[in-house]
Amino acid sequence: DAGVIQSPRHEVTEMGQEVTLRCKPISGHNSLFWYRQTMMRGLELLIYFNNNVPIDDSGMPEDRFSAKMPNASFSTLKIQPSEPRDSAVYFCASSFAGNDEQYFGPGTRLTVT
């Protein structure tokens, strides 16, 4: 298995631009998580899905952030418009629901100038 796949690995964009991050979970996993990691705040859960349905999006910082999971093998996290304070590493993770081992992707390093 290739593990959790994220793209792009690096993204540099200007303030105000739309950013779309992509994630392909491990085949067969039915829970998917989006996290943001910064030095100051550590790893923060943004949103998670069970069986493609958003369960808890209370970690989404503001309306500029949105996430979708149209099918079991694909999810997106969109930021529109992006701001410099959104600069961080964004991780996607997947697991079997109820299993505590989350498998993380390699992350997308986002820089907003």
Partner 1 sequence: QKEVEQDPGPLSVPEGAIVSLNCTYSNSAFQYFMWYRQYSRKGPELLMYTYSSGNKEDGRFTAQVDKSSKYISLFIRDSQPSDSATYLCAMRSTGNQFYFGTGTSLTVIP
Q: In this complex, which beta carbon is closest to partner 1, that of residue 70 or of residue 98?
A: 98
Task: Using the minimum distance from each CB to partner 1, give the nearer residue, 19 or 47.
Answer: 47
Given 48, 69, 94, 110, the residue binding partner 1 (CB under 8 A): 48
Q: Which is nearer to partner 1, 82 or 90 (by Cβ)?
A: 90
Residue 61 neighbours by CB under 8 Å, 6+ apart: 46
Neighbours of 97 (CB within 10 A): 12
The answer, yes or no, to whether the previous bond of 54 is cis (omega within 30 of 0) is no
Beta bridge partners of 23: 6, 75
CB of 97 to partner 1, least distance (A): 7
Q: Is 37 helix (H, G, I), strand (E, B) or coil?
A: strand
**Residues of this chain that bind partner 1 (CB under 8 A):** 4, 31, 33, 35, 41-45, 48, 50, 55-56, 91, 93, 97-98, 100-107
